[in-house]
Chain A
Amino acid sequence: MSSAILSIRDLQTNFFTHGGAVKAVNNVCFDVEEGKILGLVGESGSGKSVTGFSIMGLVDEPGRVAGGSIKLKGEELLGLREAEMRKIRGRRIAMIFQDPMMTLNPVLRIGVQMCEAITTHEKVSKREAWQRSRDALAEVGIPSPEERLNAYPHQLSGGMCQRVAIAIAFLNRPEFIIADEPTTALDVTIQGQILAQAQKLCAQYKTAMIWITHDLSVVAGLADEIAVMYAGRIVEQGASEEVLKTPRHPYTAGLIKSVPGEQVKGERLYQIPGMTPSLLRLGEECAFLARCPNAAAACNNVPDMTWQDGRGYRCHNPVEAANINNKAPSAQKEELV
């Protein structure tokens, strides 16, 4: 697709540990278009954050991007030297992290940190940088921004800090933003504020965005597209409404059914048995095999991505559209885990 801001193909990120190579991100492909939000959903250890770090070029030892391609407006990012990457990072691609208290430097005033983000990439006067920082803070809805510029991070609440982080991410009008669980640590009402803010800014500046989260309901309200990750691979991908309404991969279907509130009150929740497998011990078989209700002989080989009407799923026995509304088997026997 030509209008894609970011285009990822066959991304492979491995961590070379004493126990062997851990394929944290395995064969991941997706495009994000201008002004669109891609929701990257998965449980802990599914590789969603590592995907984000790989794009930013921030994978630390013993990890390494082992293959694939990451193109920003047609320009290959993999293989760039660190000095070149540094020019892109923060200016053309920005990242918002999960814990706002950890992202901001505790010993520098907010204003200093914000101005630094501007002056690193542009030759502007201190005064102008300061003014732009102030405007950016006002834009994300921080009251009395002038005062806040002189505050230290510990003087602000978690929600405020996250807004500052968002303001910094948008400072240089990047083409692409990666948001790594930015609302997980926040309260419901504050989460609503942050989501509203991100939505507004994305539409205003036509920024493409990846929103990494484990919370399906956040993605349902925010994202245009969804990619569901499991054990390092994308298992299902497509327009968010369609994926959530008619999931094809048993894992996605199970996740949606296990969220409380969608079923009759007090009824047993659908539960996906077992746990996510260790990435060290992934074999030739589908990683979801042991937990899958639809498992068959063919599942001993990792299925390829099947594409159909702009939607993809990685499954030999996809959930049939008609079966999705069926009730969860109520008499599930809980297995010993």
Chain B
Amino acid sequence: MSDILAVDGVSKVFTQPLDMAAKISNLVGAKNKEIRVEAVSDVSLSVKKGEVLGIVGESGCGKSTLGRVIAGIHESTAGDILWRGKRISQMTRAELREFTLAVQMIFQDPFSSLNPRKRITQAVSEAPYAHGMISRAERDDLTVNLLEKVGLDPSLRTRYPHQFSGGQRQRIGIARALAVNPQFLVCDESIAALDVSIQAQVLNLFMDLREEFDLTYIFISHDLSVVKHISDKVAIMYLGRVVELASASDIFAEPSHPYTKALLEQAPKISEGKRTFYPINGEVPSPINPPSGCHFHPRCRYATAVCRTQKPELLEVSPGRFSACFVTGSETSKETNEAVA
């Protein structure tokens, strides 16, 4: 199987332009700078057809931004996305259209991602109609079909979003994404807002649809147990960088990066029973002013002098397994470590 989608060195920088007062004061000698946030920094990933890639991280680590760049909602500042081996920056208009339809996104909040003034039929069948994939007469049939696929009673299709519960709305969001026959779904915290018993229902639905429609997923979540369950490959992000990338079984059996280790230790598990919590210190630093060197070094218990000054590269530690750490990394990184020290 070849890569269906690859992310090649993508960065996304958000800048807040100076306001008028700051511009004027700059004219008379003040030194106001634009606020610049590197939300995603030089990320490279690839997803094979039929695979589920989980992206895990805490808030502010850039996982949602990365998802949005992949789904084409944000344009990347640097780097490129390859769809079936073709760079999207070099695509023709027709190819680009095909790409945007093939990659769909399912959002976190089922309460704000549906237009409250549109009936379900309109919400679900609007995109394929607008793209000329179906005629007006077919809109209703398509909706019935899709609602059945996602486990909703099609007779509810003339209702408005506020008449549904959170779990039902999330199903509508999924039906809407499926309406344009996508090959690739980006699920951004799609089950985080749901109750535990409903989470299981929606997760099962994702897995069923994957088989039925031959879908590939990027599954963004902060919930390790969900990612462990559904993903084949996992990328752990911290402050805009991917710090570890490996198969799900490897990462959860034996995490390599200190941050991954800490995350796994922190996550409470049902099977473990009562225990004492040993927290890692500190908080995620502000991405406006990230720490030098390795972003994780102020919180890391293994941090050495190199970590403060140099950025660790994402290197292959063992086959198929990448980690960005000087200390627990590969032999090569140990050598650099010694050389610098």
Contact = CB atoms under 8 A, between A and B. Distances in A.
A275 B165 contact: yes
B207 interface: yes
A188 B263 contact: yes
Contacts of B266: 188-189, 191-192
Given A44-B195, A216-B196, A334-B204, A262 B270 contact: yes
A162 to B, nearest CB: 11
A259 B195 CA distance: 11
Given A254-B197, A261-B269, A187 B222 contact: yes
A334 B271 CA distance: 27
Interface in A249-283: 254-256, 258-263, 265-266, 268-272, 275-276
A217 B228 CA distance: 15
Most A CB contacts (10 A, CB to CB) among B58, B197, B248, B266 go to B197
Interface string B272-294: 11111111100110000000000
Interface in A117-164: 157, 159-160
Given A221-B275, A261-B229, A269 B200 contact: yes
B109 to A, nearest CB: 14
A224 B225 CA distance: 23
A149 to B, nearest CB: 19
B229 A199 contact: no
Contact of A272 (B59, B197, B267, B276): B197
Contacts of A157: 283
In which size bucket is the chain A interface? 35 or more
A260 B272 contact: no
Contacts of B195: 43-44, 214, 276
B151 interface: yes
Contact of A217 (B200, B263, B267): B267
Given A193-B280, A223-B274, 17 more contacts: A43-B195, A43-B198, A157-B283, A187-B284, A188-B224, A192-B265, A192-B277, A193-B279, A220-B268, A220-B272, A222-B274, A244-B273, A259-B196, A259-B200, A261-B269, A262-B270, A265-B228
Interface of B: 58-59, 148, 151-153, 165, 167-168, 171, 195-201, 203-205, 207-208, 222, 224-226, 228-230, 248-249, 262-263, 265-280, 283-284
